[in-house]
Amino acid sequence: MSSLPPILLEIFWLAVWLLVLVVIFVPLERLFAVRPAKIFRKGIGADLAYYFLTSLLLSILLSLPIALLVWTVQRCVPAVVPETMRSLPLWARMVAGLVAGETGYYWGHRWCHEFPFLWRFHAIHHSAEHCDFMVSSRAHPIDLVFGRFCMLVPMVVLGLGSPMDRSGSTVPLVVSLIGTFWGFFIHANLRWRLGPIEWLFSTPAFHHWHHTKSGPINRNYASTLPWLDRIFGTHYLPNEWPADYGIKAKMPDSLIDQLFYPMMPDPPSTPVSVTTEPLPRDADSASQPDQEPTEAVDVVSEPLEEKSASGASITPN
Protein backbone atom coordinates (compact mmCIF):
# COMPACT_ATOMS: atom_id res chain seq x y z
CA MET A 1 0.00 0.00 0.00
CA SER A 2 2.81 2.42 0.87
CA SER A 3 4.28 1.92 -2.59
CA LEU A 4 1.24 3.51 -4.24
CA PRO A 5 1.60 7.07 -5.59
CA PRO A 6 0.17 9.60 -3.10
CA ILE A 7 -2.77 10.49 -5.36
CA LEU A 8 -3.82 6.85 -5.68
CA LEU A 9 -3.42 6.31 -1.96
CA GLU A 10 -5.65 9.31 -1.26
CA ILE A 11 -8.27 8.03 -3.71
CA PHE A 12 -8.15 4.64 -1.98
CA TRP A 13 -8.84 6.14 1.45
CA LEU A 14 -11.60 8.33 0.02
CA ALA A 15 -13.21 5.20 -1.41
CA VAL A 16 -12.95 3.48 1.99
CA TRP A 17 -14.57 6.50 3.70
CA LEU A 18 -17.31 6.53 1.07
CA LEU A 19 -17.98 2.84 1.71
CA VAL A 20 -18.33 3.57 5.44
CA LEU A 21 -20.83 6.36 4.67
CA VAL A 22 -22.82 4.07 2.37
CA VAL A 23 -22.97 1.32 4.99
CA ILE A 24 -24.21 3.81 7.60
CA PHE A 25 -26.65 5.97 5.66
CA VAL A 26 -28.14 3.84 2.89
CA PRO A 27 -29.94 1.41 5.25
CA LEU A 28 -31.07 4.28 7.48
CA GLU A 29 -32.44 6.23 4.51
CA ARG A 30 -34.33 3.15 3.34
CA LEU A 31 -35.89 2.60 6.77
CA PHE A 32 -36.56 6.18 7.91
CA ALA A 33 -36.90 8.24 4.73
CA VAL A 34 -38.68 11.58 4.68
CA ARG A 35 -39.54 10.64 1.10
CA PRO A 36 -38.68 7.20 -0.32
CA ALA A 37 -36.12 7.54 -3.11
CA LYS A 38 -33.99 5.33 -5.30
CA ILE A 39 -30.39 4.78 -4.29
CA PHE A 40 -29.23 5.52 -7.82
CA ARG A 41 -31.40 8.59 -8.23
CA LYS A 42 -30.89 11.43 -10.70
CA GLY A 43 -27.62 13.25 -10.15
CA ILE A 44 -25.92 10.54 -8.10
CA GLY A 45 -23.10 10.27 -10.66
CA ALA A 46 -22.30 13.97 -10.42
CA ASP A 47 -22.46 13.88 -6.63
CA LEU A 48 -20.00 10.98 -6.53
CA ALA A 49 -17.70 12.88 -8.88
CA TYR A 50 -17.90 15.97 -6.64
CA TYR A 51 -17.06 13.79 -3.64
CA PHE A 52 -13.72 12.74 -5.12
CA LEU A 53 -12.95 15.98 -6.98
CA THR A 54 -13.46 18.40 -4.12
CA SER A 55 -11.75 16.12 -1.61
CA LEU A 56 -8.65 15.93 -3.80
CA LEU A 57 -8.57 19.64 -4.63
CA LEU A 58 -9.43 21.13 -1.23
CA SER A 59 -5.98 21.08 0.36
CA ILE A 60 -4.35 22.31 -2.85
CA LEU A 61 -6.71 25.24 -3.31
CA LEU A 62 -6.63 26.16 0.39
CA SER A 63 -2.85 26.16 0.76
CA LEU A 64 -2.18 29.67 -0.56
CA PRO A 65 -5.07 31.47 1.22
CA ILE A 66 -4.18 29.76 4.52
CA ALA A 67 -0.49 30.62 4.11
CA LEU A 68 -1.41 34.28 3.58
CA LEU A 69 -3.75 34.18 6.57
CA VAL A 70 -1.10 32.70 8.85
CA TRP A 71 1.48 35.26 7.65
CA THR A 72 -0.95 38.11 8.35
CA VAL A 73 -1.98 36.81 11.78
CA GLN A 74 1.63 36.38 12.89
CA ARG A 75 2.27 40.06 12.15
CA CYS A 76 -1.00 41.60 13.31
CA VAL A 77 -2.31 39.58 16.26
CA PRO A 78 -0.59 40.15 19.65
CA ALA A 79 1.42 37.14 20.80
CA VAL A 80 -0.54 37.01 24.06
CA VAL A 81 -3.62 35.73 22.15
CA PRO A 82 -2.15 32.44 20.85
CA GLU A 83 -0.14 32.00 24.07
CA THR A 84 -3.34 32.24 26.13
CA MET A 85 -5.11 29.71 23.92
CA ARG A 86 -2.18 27.28 24.04
CA SER A 87 -2.34 27.37 27.84
CA LEU A 88 -5.88 25.94 27.81
CA PRO A 89 -6.46 22.20 28.16
CA LEU A 90 -7.10 20.32 24.93
CA TRP A 91 -10.82 19.83 25.60
CA ALA A 92 -11.29 23.58 26.09
CA ARG A 93 -9.43 24.35 22.88
CA MET A 94 -11.62 21.81 21.07
CA VAL A 95 -14.82 23.44 22.31
CA ALA A 96 -13.52 26.93 21.55
CA GLY A 97 -12.39 25.76 18.12
CA LEU A 98 -15.79 24.26 17.34
CA VAL A 99 -17.65 27.44 18.35
CA ALA A 100 -15.17 29.76 16.60
CA GLY A 101 -15.05 27.66 13.44
CA GLU A 102 -18.81 27.25 13.29
CA THR A 103 -19.30 31.00 13.74
CA GLY A 104 -16.91 31.67 10.87
CA TYR A 105 -18.69 29.10 8.73
CA TYR A 106 -22.11 30.56 9.57
CA TRP A 107 -21.12 33.97 8.19
CA GLY A 108 -19.29 32.53 5.19
CA HIS A 109 -22.36 30.46 4.36
CA ARG A 110 -24.68 33.41 4.85
CA TRP A 111 -22.53 35.59 2.58
CA CYS A 112 -22.84 32.91 -0.10
CA HIS A 113 -26.56 33.70 -0.10
CA GLU A 114 -26.22 37.47 0.22
CA PHE A 115 -23.64 38.23 -2.46
CA PRO A 116 -24.58 37.33 -6.05
CA PHE A 117 -21.03 36.42 -7.07
CA LEU A 118 -20.73 33.86 -4.25
CA TRP A 119 -24.28 32.63 -4.88
CA ARG A 120 -23.28 31.68 -8.45
CA PHE A 121 -21.03 28.96 -6.99
CA HIS A 122 -23.19 28.03 -3.99
CA ALA A 123 -26.27 27.59 -6.18
CA ILE A 124 -24.81 24.31 -7.45
CA HIS A 125 -25.19 22.84 -3.97
CA HIS A 126 -28.76 24.12 -3.71
CA SER A 127 -29.71 22.79 -7.14
CA ALA A 128 -30.39 19.33 -5.68
CA GLU A 129 -34.10 18.55 -5.96
CA HIS A 130 -33.86 16.05 -3.11
CA CYS A 131 -31.92 15.68 0.13
CA ASP A 132 -29.84 12.64 0.99
CA PHE A 133 -26.40 12.16 2.49
CA MET A 134 -24.59 12.36 -0.86
CA VAL A 135 -25.96 15.86 -1.53
CA SER A 136 -23.46 17.05 1.09
CA SER A 137 -20.66 16.42 -1.43
CA ARG A 138 -22.35 18.44 -4.20
CA ALA A 139 -20.31 21.65 -4.07
CA HIS A 140 -18.27 23.65 -6.53
CA PRO A 141 -14.59 23.60 -5.46
CA ILE A 142 -14.57 27.41 -5.11
CA ASP A 143 -17.66 27.29 -2.90
CA LEU A 144 -16.17 24.56 -0.72
CA VAL A 145 -12.85 26.36 -0.35
CA PHE A 146 -14.55 29.63 0.60
CA GLY A 147 -16.67 27.96 3.29
CA ARG A 148 -13.72 26.04 4.73
CA PHE A 149 -11.56 29.17 4.72
CA CYS A 150 -14.22 31.14 6.62
CA MET A 151 -14.34 28.33 9.15
CA LEU A 152 -10.55 28.37 9.65
CA VAL A 153 -10.11 32.15 9.90
CA PRO A 154 -11.34 32.62 13.51
CA MET A 155 -9.45 29.53 14.69
CA VAL A 156 -6.19 30.80 13.23
CA VAL A 157 -6.73 34.38 14.45
CA LEU A 158 -7.47 33.20 17.99
CA GLY A 159 -4.43 30.92 18.02
CA LEU A 160 -6.48 27.73 18.31
CA GLY A 161 -4.32 26.07 15.70
CA SER A 162 -3.19 26.28 12.12
CA PRO A 163 -3.46 23.61 9.43
CA MET A 164 -0.07 24.81 8.15
CA ASP A 165 1.63 23.80 11.42
CA ARG A 166 1.71 20.08 12.21
CA SER A 167 1.98 20.73 15.95
CA GLY A 168 -0.99 23.08 15.90
CA SER A 169 -3.26 21.30 13.45
CA THR A 170 -5.14 19.10 15.95
CA VAL A 171 -8.03 21.47 16.66
CA PRO A 172 -8.65 22.51 13.01
CA LEU A 173 -8.40 18.87 11.92
CA VAL A 174 -10.88 17.59 14.51
CA VAL A 175 -13.31 20.45 13.86
CA SER A 176 -13.09 19.82 10.10
CA LEU A 177 -13.71 16.08 10.56
CA ILE A 178 -16.72 16.71 12.80
CA GLY A 179 -18.13 19.23 10.34
CA THR A 180 -17.58 16.90 7.38
CA PHE A 181 -19.35 13.92 8.95
CA TRP A 182 -22.12 16.11 10.38
CA GLY A 183 -22.63 17.55 6.91
CA PHE A 184 -23.50 14.09 5.57
CA PHE A 185 -25.87 13.53 8.50
CA ILE A 186 -27.85 16.78 8.20
CA HIS A 187 -28.37 16.24 4.47
CA ALA A 188 -29.54 12.66 4.99
CA ASN A 189 -33.03 11.61 3.95
CA LEU A 190 -34.01 10.85 7.56
CA ARG A 191 -37.30 11.84 9.18
CA TRP A 192 -35.84 11.74 12.68
CA ARG A 193 -36.78 14.49 15.12
CA LEU A 194 -34.62 14.70 18.24
CA GLY A 195 -36.59 16.90 20.60
CA PRO A 196 -34.52 19.18 22.89
CA ILE A 197 -31.29 18.01 21.23
CA GLU A 198 -32.29 20.18 18.27
CA TRP A 199 -31.67 23.25 20.42
CA LEU A 200 -27.99 22.31 20.64
CA PHE A 201 -27.07 20.48 17.43
CA SER A 202 -28.31 20.66 13.86
CA THR A 203 -30.35 17.79 12.46
CA PRO A 204 -31.74 16.75 9.06
CA ALA A 205 -35.00 18.58 9.81
CA PHE A 206 -33.12 21.78 10.56
CA HIS A 207 -30.97 21.66 7.43
CA HIS A 208 -33.68 20.40 5.06
CA TRP A 209 -35.44 23.72 5.62
CA HIS A 210 -32.29 25.46 4.43
CA HIS A 211 -32.72 23.64 1.10
CA THR A 212 -36.41 24.42 0.63
CA LYS A 213 -37.40 25.77 -2.76
CA SER A 214 -40.85 27.14 -1.95
CA GLY A 215 -40.79 27.52 1.82
CA PRO A 216 -39.24 30.26 3.96
CA ILE A 217 -35.82 30.90 2.49
CA ASN A 218 -32.65 32.38 4.04
CA ARG A 219 -32.74 30.27 7.17
CA ASN A 220 -30.59 27.76 9.08
CA TYR A 221 -27.06 28.57 7.92
CA ALA A 222 -25.20 26.80 10.75
CA SER A 223 -23.83 23.34 10.03
CA THR A 224 -23.59 21.98 13.58
CA LEU A 225 -24.71 24.62 16.12
CA PRO A 226 -28.26 25.85 15.34
CA TRP A 227 -28.31 28.28 18.26
CA LEU A 228 -26.10 30.54 16.16
CA ASP A 229 -29.09 30.97 13.85
CA ARG A 230 -31.18 31.87 16.88
CA ILE A 231 -28.64 34.49 17.92
CA PHE A 232 -28.46 36.01 14.42
CA GLY A 233 -32.19 35.79 13.68
CA THR A 234 -32.21 33.14 10.92
CA HIS A 235 -33.53 30.09 12.78
CA TYR A 236 -36.58 28.25 11.41
CA LEU A 237 -37.70 24.81 12.57
CA PRO A 238 -41.44 24.08 12.46
CA ASN A 239 -43.01 20.65 12.93
CA GLU A 240 -43.28 20.01 9.19
CA TRP A 241 -40.82 19.06 6.47
CA PRO A 242 -40.26 21.13 3.32
CA ALA A 243 -42.56 20.43 0.40
CA ASP A 244 -39.74 20.58 -2.15
CA TYR A 245 -36.06 21.37 -2.61
CA GLY A 246 -33.87 23.16 -5.14
CA ILE A 247 -33.67 26.46 -7.01
CA LYS A 248 -35.62 28.05 -9.83
CA ALA A 249 -32.77 27.80 -12.34
CA LYS A 250 -32.24 24.72 -14.47
CA MET A 251 -28.85 23.37 -13.53
CA PRO A 252 -26.95 21.38 -16.19
CA ASP A 253 -26.77 17.65 -15.52
CA SER A 254 -23.12 17.05 -16.36
CA LEU A 255 -20.31 17.74 -13.93
CA ILE A 256 -18.27 19.74 -16.45
CA ASP A 257 -21.19 22.02 -17.31
CA GLN A 258 -21.91 22.60 -13.63
CA LEU A 259 -18.29 23.54 -12.94
CA PHE A 260 -18.46 26.23 -15.62
CA TYR A 261 -22.02 27.31 -14.78
CA PRO A 262 -20.97 30.09 -12.32
CA MET A 263 -18.99 31.72 -15.13
CA MET A 264 -21.98 31.89 -17.47
CA PRO A 265 -23.38 35.38 -18.27
CA ASP A 266 -26.68 34.80 -16.46
CA PRO A 267 -26.30 33.95 -12.75
CA PRO A 268 -28.31 31.10 -11.19
CA SER A 269 -31.78 32.18 -10.09
CA THR A 270 -33.14 32.00 -6.58
CA PRO A 271 -36.58 30.49 -5.81
CA VAL A 272 -39.59 32.37 -7.11
CA SER A 273 -42.37 33.81 -4.97
CA VAL A 274 -44.92 31.07 -4.32
CA THR A 275 -47.32 29.84 -1.69
CA THR A 276 -47.11 26.25 -0.54
CA GLU A 277 -48.01 23.87 2.27
CA PRO A 278 -45.08 21.98 3.81
CA LEU A 279 -45.09 18.19 3.94
CA PRO A 280 -46.87 17.05 7.15
CA ARG A 281 -44.59 15.72 9.82
CA ASP A 282 -44.96 12.12 11.01
CA ALA A 283 -47.34 11.86 13.93
CA ASP A 284 -44.88 9.71 15.90
CA SER A 285 -42.07 12.32 15.74
CA ALA A 286 -40.84 13.95 18.93
CA SER A 287 -42.14 17.40 19.83
CA GLN A 288 -39.90 20.24 18.77
CA PRO A 289 -38.44 23.18 20.67
CA ASP A 290 -39.39 25.72 18.03
CA GLN A 291 -43.12 25.67 17.41
CA GLU A 292 -43.60 28.19 14.60
CA PRO A 293 -46.76 28.66 12.53
CA THR A 294 -47.26 26.07 9.83
CA GLU A 295 -49.49 27.97 7.48
CA ALA A 296 -48.58 28.82 3.89
CA VAL A 297 -45.64 31.21 3.45
CA ASP A 298 -44.90 33.70 0.71
CA VAL A 299 -41.32 33.53 -0.51
CA VAL A 300 -39.41 36.36 -2.18
CA SER A 301 -36.99 35.44 -4.93
CA GLU A 302 -34.48 38.29 -4.98
CA PRO A 303 -31.43 38.50 -2.68
CA LEU A 304 -31.79 40.59 0.49
CA GLU A 305 -35.52 41.14 0.07
CA GLU A 306 -37.12 38.62 2.45
CA LYS A 307 -37.96 40.21 5.81
CA SER A 308 -37.90 38.53 9.18
CA ALA A 309 -40.61 39.08 11.74
CA SER A 310 -38.59 41.92 13.21
CA GLY A 311 -38.18 43.62 9.87
CA ALA A 312 -34.52 42.68 9.47
CA SER A 313 -33.29 41.85 6.00
CA ILE A 314 -32.54 38.14 5.49
CA THR A 315 -30.83 36.55 2.52
CA PRO A 316 -31.89 34.09 -0.22
CA ASN A 317 -31.71 30.34 0.21
Residue 2: the pLDDT is 65
**Is the residue at 139 inside a domain?**
yes
**Is the residue at 18 inside a domain?**
yes
Average model confidence (pLDDT) across the chain: 84
Query: Hey, what amino acid is at 51?
Result: Y
**Is the residue at 287 inside a domain?**
yes
Range of lowest pLDDT (5-14, 17-26, 92-101, 231-240): 5-14
Residue 141: the pLDDT is 97
**Is the residue at 82 inside a domain?**
yes
**CB count, 10 Å around CB of 239?**
17
Domain total in the chain: 1
What phi-psi label fits residue 57: left (phi over 0), alpha (psi between -120 and 50 degrees) or beta? alpha
Exposed/middle/buried for residue 78 (C-beta within 10 Å: 0-12, 13-18, 19+): exposed
Percent of the chain predicted with pLDDT > 70: 81
Model confidence at 302, pLDDT cuts 50, 70, 90, reads: very low
Range of lowest pLDDT (99-108, 215-224, 289-298): 289-298
Q: Which residue has the higher pLDDT, 168 or 291?
A: 168
The answer on pLDDT for 300 being more than 50 is: no
Segment 119-146 shows an average pLDDT of 96
Residue 1: the pLDDT is 62
pLDDT, tens digit (0-9, with 9 covering 90-100), for 232-269: 999 999 999 999 999 988 898 889 999 999 998 865 55
| Residues in CB range of 65: below 8 A, 6 or more apart | 145, 149
Model confidence at 22, pLDDT cuts 50, 70, 90, reads: very high
Angle between helices 141-157 and 170-187 (to 10 degrees): 140
Range of lowest pLDDT (3-7, 32-36, 100-104): 3-7
* E strand map for the chain: 306-307, 313-314
Residue 277: the pLDDT is 41
Among 290, 266, 253, 272, which residue's Cα sits nearest to residue 45? 253
Model confidence at 164, pLDDT cuts 50, 70, 90, reads: low
Among 136, 131, 184, which residue's Cα sits nearest to residue 21? 184
Segment 60-84 shows an average pLDDT of 93
Inter-CA distances, 184 with 1, 10, 25, 177, Å = 28, 20, 9, 11
**Is the residue at 1 inside a domain?**
no
Q: Which residue has the higher pLDDT, 194 or 279?
A: 194
Segment 56-63 shows an average pLDDT of 93
Q: Are 251 and 268 in contact (CB under 8 A)?
A: yes
Residue 290: the pLDDT is 38
What is the value of pTM for the model shown? 0.81
**Is the residue at 275 inside a domain?**
yes
Residue 99: the pLDDT is 97
**Is the residue at 268 inside a domain?**
yes
Query: Can you give the residue range of the structural domain that contains 240?
Result: 6-314
